[in-house]
Structure 1
Amino acid sequence: MEQYLSNSFQTNPLLTFTLLLLVVLTLPPIFERIKLPGLVGLLFAGVVLGSNGLGLLDAKSETMKLLSDIGKIYLMFVAGLEIDLEEFRKTKERSLGFGMATFLVPLIMGTAIARIFGIGWNASILIGSLLASHTLLGYPIVKGLGVVANEAVTVTIGATIFTDIAALLVLAICISIHGGEFSAVSLITQLVILGIYAALILIGFDKAGKEYFRRTGDEESNQFLFILLAVFLASVGAQIISVDKIVGAFLAGLAVNDVVGRSPVEEKIEFVGSTLFIPFFFVGMGLLLDIPGFIKTVTTELPLTLGIVGGLLLSKFIAAAIAKILYSYNWNQAMTMWSLSLPQVAATLAAALAGVNAELIDDSIFNVVIVLMLVTAIAGPILTTTFGRKLSATMVANGELQKYHLGGEQSDTQEDSVFFNNETRSEIPYTTKKFSFRVVVPVANPETERNLIEMGALLARHELGTVISLSIAKAHVHMDDPDLKQGMDSSRKLLKNAVAVTKEFGARGKSMIRIDDDVVQGITRAAREERANLIIMGWSQRDLRSRIFGTVVDGIFWSAHCPVAVMRLQQEPIKIHQVLVPIKNFDAQAKLTIEFAQLFAETNQAAITLLHVSQRKTPATEVEALGSQLKQFIEEIKVRVDVAVQTIRNDNTTEAILAQTKNHDLVILRSIRRRTAGGLAVSDISDRLIRQLNTSFILFGEPH
């Protein structure tokens, strides 16, 4: 029976694909619950299902080869796509400086360690290059802590461009040398060809992409296909010039970086990769692991393993110390740079596999790289959290966190300078800021319309502002199309009800119908044209289609110029009197969320509870510091309602928050998008809470 199942899975592509989907769906969340990266679960699945386990999957089968290759290409493409070129341009000189340090020091140290253990020069240099790159697994952490704007963090993010490109170039040269007789002429020829190829990709794809996106407008499906074609064309081109395909994939990611920007198309690209192909690659990596050989490497070649892992930790620290000295950073900044540059996942694993396939490095070195990946993938984020919090506390103490206000941009005129906090409101006479606060409320569902308009009316009345009720009618080629007329009639009925509710609550109202091909674009463009300070929307359930293609809410969060409040209200807003606001870290985004909660509470004299859930092992001083910061902030903004600060120790954050919601009418959560540079989605507490909440909630998000 076992042999029959094994043969069936290995010869039937459909069964293989089904089994992979099951693995990707179930294992990463399980491993994340035990505080291990989800990709470790995928590697574990590959080991269990491979030749050393159940034998259900074969790494040499055509199906697994294809899916793993696509995953590897996608992995490197996403790594290039997620690099923030705008931040790199701000500090490009220092980014290049730190990039050279964090590349050359590990390269030299890795090469030296390999040579000490008798490995040939070519393979030793390749091993050194594996240590030289890094994957920004800690980026979601520093983003959540609000320290991305710190120069040290920006420099580290920018340095990724240099380290990844340089590491891939070394890989290409080493494999080229290994494949034939080495000579200065062949090396120069290879470098010239590679330079021409890189220029064609980086310049040609960028220009072609911008022109295509300009011509296709809102056709996201065709734009998605264009990007896919670009990445695979680049990969095929790399193979033609005898360079590994991951080099082409990474360059394609950089080339279309500015084209897709931070748009819904980028989200769909990353979603497809992180949901399907990249996990398949990690499962394929697990299939290649020879467990007896792995155990032998860790035991019999323990000195080499410790040398490589220790060499990486030390060399990355030296590079961060060099940056500290050169750029006069403090130790919190230097240690944050060190922790961010530690994880070796995307480029390292892909390059190591390329080296094994080219027979440049053997399986024992590959096993050492797996150990290196496991250690750094776990240690890197932990250290980033530790030092990132210290850096955040320092920035808060020095007043360096970016100040946010309610509204997409701050105008030079008093009328448009609308802030949440009372201190600012007291400085602006009510006569000069009359009607300056604008709330756009898109209406589409008659069942939720009243509560949404009521919420907008309460906020607008409190701020002496305006509620703009908006309905989107789906455009047609012919403006006299009966379906368009029917849509316009439905919009008028919705807006008539919206105006009536607005008047009922004594707020100034305005209604508008917009004809648009795309609902998201229609809402965000109307909000921008009306200089909206806030968009209020209803929550929609996430079905399978929405998880794959995204919802209107997802698109609004990506595109809006101003904060967005998405809500599911179980009762009328005027009946809400107890508001719970979970706060993880005190940063600029947390401030904005608190100010929004304050604004709503003042409209109805509701009480606010700021809740912080800390791990049981969190130092008491750290918890007390956060509580003090919250209380000080509440005093500064002169809140006119009751505000309580509550801290709880519980290792299960979701469970702790859910327990507190029983005594509250409304929960206000932050919307945070979290993805690793490797493309694997990181679980968000807000997502888990929304699925289990039985009370009203607001998902509040700042502009992307």
Structure 2
Amino acid sequence: MLYFYLLYVSSTMDNIINHLIEEFQLPLHNPVLIFSLILFIILLAPIVLHRIRIPGIIGLIVSGIIIGPAGLNILEKSLFVDVFSTIGLLYIMFIAGLELDLNEFKATRNKSLMFGFLTFAIPISIGFPVCYYVLGFEFNASLLTSSMFATHTLVTYPIVSKLGVSKNVAVAVTVGGTILTDTAVLILLAIILGSHDGGLTTEFWVHLGISLVLFSAFMFLVIPKIAKWFFKKLESEKHSHYIFVLSVVFFSAFLAELAGLESIIGAFVAGLALNKLIPHSSALMNRIEFIGNSLFIPFFLISVGMIVDVSVILSGPMALIIAGTLTLVAVFSKWTAAFFTQIIFKFSKGQRKLIFGLSSAHAAATLAVILVGYKAGILDANILNGTVVLILVTCIIASFATESAAKEIIRNSNEDDHLQLTSKTNNETILIPIANLINIEKVLDFAVLIKEKKSNNPLSILTVVPNTDEAEKTIVKAKEGLESYLKETTASDTNATIMATIDYNAASGISRTAKEIMADIILLGWPQKTGFLDKLIGDKMEGILQNTEKTLFICDFEIPLVNHKKLVLIVPPNAEFEEGFAIWLNKIAKLSLELSIPVHLNCVEETHQAILKFAKDNKVTLTVNYFYFNDWDNFLALSNMFGDTDCIVLVSARRGYISHFGQLDRIPVKLEKYFPKLSKMVIYPQ
């Protein structure tokens, strides 16, 4: 009996193993397995590449190259992949039209039209001769490739927004010019495809003209009215709004094809038609961007990588020459357009660099145009592969150029707003998230000392409870554990309140609560050591840094606050240009005054003068002993200044902000490693 049972188990295991071998034969054919693999790539690629600071768009394309037919041959081109790829392509163009700020375009329309003309005409004027005469492409291939140089994607706009120069006229001109150049390129694409299919006959021009008029009339006159009626009649059916928008996008793409245009033109026009009906901060816009960025667009980027054949690039010098030439022409032509825009409108050097940085990145629109040309047989694999190299290089160049230009504009600004204390300090709100009760007393003492006495808002002590079946009981226990500490704040005439929130992730709970109570300052205890997986995905501290923009104090007080003899303040260059400069400096001044201890300031002379100016302008008492310091590679040289009863205060910065540089990210680890017994504090300004 046992024999037959073992035989049955063995047979079953063999069947399972054979089934697994069959399912995992390359390339994969099981739709469920394919979809699972794609989702894992979409999930993990950006997370891993973010840690090594590679743009997500590049990571997804590279992933597609690896799993594609020319890579490990895990996936092959199929109807399943093509459908999702097409959806992603249309989605990209739809969002491009939807996100354009039409009001901003109206305000600077003359300058935007001029820049749009220059950034469209100059790349084509330079690119076409190079492609036709130097690289030897056919006429249509040369024209389509040069039109690709004219497109640009505002990949680096978040940098501008983060650094606070988004209101600069150079940004408005560049964003507005995007409307003209992208629209012109898409129309040119329709003409090139028409020429490739049947020639530019009189019949073609008449058909194109009538099609454009009818299509535009329907999209801009009929669709907005239907959408307005639909949103009004089904106001409570929020999920229906998103389905309606998707229906409009794909029906518009179909109508564009009926009109003899390319489907991506229909999706782009759908975005423009619905632009005013979907506010940028609305829940519907959030759903559109969330689903697109989470699924459809990454799927498209992976499918683009699957088309790329690395062997073609490495097959000989010609492929590398094409890739290098395309990249060089793209960068040079966009710089030339920015240069002439600067001359015509008498912009500053920083504004010219900003226009170049914003308009030099080639990504979504470039991929869309080149992919359509490749599928139509106008462009070959060399151009497609060269375009991928171009996207990689231009995105990197654009990121550095935009950041450098934005910082230059901030430095050259005559405004001193960042040196002034605002009236909002009278309504200051301080949030104190508590993970454990070990150092709560010292953190609360610190909060009491730096809190504005004029502010009636209490200190908000927060505990984040995991979302489990025992969440309610845990909240009660956490509140009971914190109650005893409220007596200390009450004794100092400082009100405090205990808050509790439920969240699967502590960083998310803290960030959400900070927004809900409109906290100005967040006080955190020193982070626990984290493992490899935490570092890979992002630990709690980094999650809070990324999801909140408020001033952050990370504290580790090894001795009671009153026992400290001095504050060793270390400040990076350009810290005076950060928005939160006045906030943290005022708190350090209050701490120094309350404890009657001096501040040993280590920074460059420009920052020193800004600190003195702040103290004078705001009538703040600040006892400073100044020491010049700018050798951040040799940070440990400051250790001679640290005494056992000192508190080290490092002013850091979030990535991408004006005072941030690479060494800053490594210094907190050095503080923990070499000075574990000293009190220390790391500040991330607003």
Is the TM value for this pair above 0.5? yes
Alpha-carbon spacing, 1:647–1:144, altered in 2? closer, same or farther (3 Å): farther
Quote the residue 1:160 is aligned against.
178
Alpha-carbon spacing, 1:152–1:343, altered in 2? closer, same or farther (3 Å): same
Shift of residue 191, structure 1, vs aligned partner: 1.2
Distance 2:243 2:561 in 1: 49
Quote the residue 1:364 is aligned against.
382
Contact 1:43 1:283 in 2 (8 A): yes
Alpha-carbon spacing, 1:630–1:88, altered in 2? closer, same or farther (3 Å): farther
Pick which of 268-277 and 312-321 moved more. 268-277
Pick which of 641-650 and 159-168 moved more. 641-650
Quote the residue 1:99 is aligned against.
116
Distance 1:172 1:404 in 2: 54
Distance 2:234 2:446 in 1: 37
Contact 2:430 2:523 in 1 (8 A): yes
Alpha-carbon spacing, 1:205–1:125, altered in 2? closer, same or farther (3 Å): farther
Shift of residue 103, structure 1, vs aligned partner: 1.7
Distance 2:299 2:179 in 1: 25
| Equivalent runs, 1:425-440 vs 2, <5 Å | 436-440=426-430
Gaps of 5+ in 1: 217-221, 408-415, 419-435, 475-482, 613-626, 675-682
Distance 1:657 1:193 in 2: 72
The one of 571, 578, 581 aligned to 1:588: 578
Q: Residue 51 of structure 1 aligns to a residue in which SS?
A: coil
Quote the residue 1:219 is aligned against.
none
Quote the residue 2:14 is aligned against.
none
Quote the residue 1:412 is aligned against.
none
Query: How many residue pairs end up in the alignment?
Result: 626
RMSD of aligned C-alpha atoms?
5.7
Quote the residue 1:128 is aligned against.
146
Question: Which of structures 1 and 2 has the bigger CA Rg?
Answer: 2
Shift of residue 187, structure 1, vs aligned partner: 0.8
Kindly provide the CA deviation profile for residues 451-492 of structure 1, in whole angstroms up to 9, marking residues without a partner as x. Answer: 66544432225x543342569999xxxxxxxx9999999999
Alpha-carbon spacing, 1:70–1:452, altered in 2? closer, same or farther (3 Å): farther
Quote the residue 2:254 is aligned against.
239
Distance 1:595 1:84 in 2: 37
Contact 1:580 1:609 in 2 (8 A): yes
- What letter matches 2:306 in structure 1? L
Distance 2:478 2:47 in 1: 42
Shift of residue 266, structure 1, vs aligned partner: 6.3
Contact 2:419 2:614 in 1 (8 A): no
Distance 2:140 2:208 in 1: 13
Contact 2:581 2:685 in 1 (8 A): no
Alpha-carbon spacing, 1:99–1:300, altered in 2? closer, same or farther (3 Å): closer
Quote the residue 1:51 is aligned against.
69
- What letter matches 1:102 in structure 2? T
Alpha-carbon spacing, 1:377–1:491, altered in 2? closer, same or farther (3 Å): closer
Distance 2:84 2:662 in 1: 27
Shift of residue 288, structure 1, vs aligned partner: 0.5
Q: Residue 630 of structure 2 aligns to a residue in which SS?
A: strand
Contact 1:142 1:148 in 2 (8 A): yes
Contact 1:147 1:392 in 2 (8 A): yes
Structure 1 length as normaliser, TM-score?
A: 0.69
Distance 1:672 1:201 in 2: 45
Residue 450 of structure 2 is aligned to residue 459 of structure 1: yes
- What letter matches 1:290 in structure 2? D
Contact 2:434 2:463 in 1 (8 A): no
Distance 1:157 1:370 in 2: 24
Q: Residue 7 of structure 1 aligns to a residue in which SS?
A: coil
Quote the residue 1:636 is aligned against.
613
Q: Residue 466 of structure 1 aligns to a residue in which SS?
A: coil
Contact 1:457 1:467 in 2 (8 A): no
Distance 2:489 2:482 in 1: 10
Alpha-carbon spacing, 1:74–1:300, altered in 2? closer, same or farther (3 Å): closer
Distance 1:581 1:73 in 2: 50
| Equivalent runs, 1:242-321 vs 2, <5 Å | 242=257, 243-250=261-268, 255=274, 259=278, 261-262=280-281, 273-274=292-293, 277-295=296-314, 299=318, 302=321, 308-321=326-339
The one of 324, 331, 345 aligned to 1:327: 345
Structure 2 length as normaliser, TM-score?
A: 0.70
Pick which of 571-580 and 486-495 moved more. 486-495
- What letter matches 2:249 in structure 1? A
Q: Residue 589 of structure 1 aligns to a residue in which SS?
A: coil
Shift of residue 132, structure 1, vs aligned partner: 1.0
Contact 2:551 2:584 in 1 (8 A): no
Pick which of 334-343 and 590-599 moved more. 590-599
Contact 1:471 1:491 in 2 (8 A): no
| Equivalent runs, 1:8-87 vs 2, <5 Å | 8-20=26-38, 23=41, 37-58=55-76, 60-77=77-94, 79-80=96-97, 83=100
Kindly provide the CA deviation profile for residues 556-598 of structure 1, in whole angstroms up to 9, marking residues without a partner as x. Answer: 99899xx454757677994787576664744333634653653
- What letter matches 1:324 in structure 2? Q
Q: Residue 502 of structure 1 aligns to a residue in which SS?
A: helix
Pick which of 383-392 and 349-358 moved more. 383-392
Alpha-carbon spacing, 1:190–1:640, altered in 2? closer, same or farther (3 Å): farther
Gaps of 5+ in 2: 1-17, 465-469, 616-621
Alpha-carbon spacing, 1:629–1:5, altered in 2? closer, same or farther (3 Å): farther
Distance 1:157 1:12 in 2: 43
Shift of residue 636, structure 1, vs aligned partner: 1.3
Identity %: 25
Alpha-carbon spacing, 1:42–1:513, altered in 2? closer, same or farther (3 Å): closer
Alpha-carbon spacing, 1:484–1:279, altered in 2? closer, same or farther (3 Å): closer
Alpha-carbon spacing, 1:35–1:701, altered in 2? closer, same or farther (3 Å): closer
Contact 2:256 2:266 in 1 (8 A): no
Distance 2:541 2:666 in 1: 20
Contact 1:553 1:566 in 2 (8 A): no
Alpha-carbon spacing, 1:559–1:671, altered in 2? closer, same or farther (3 Å): closer
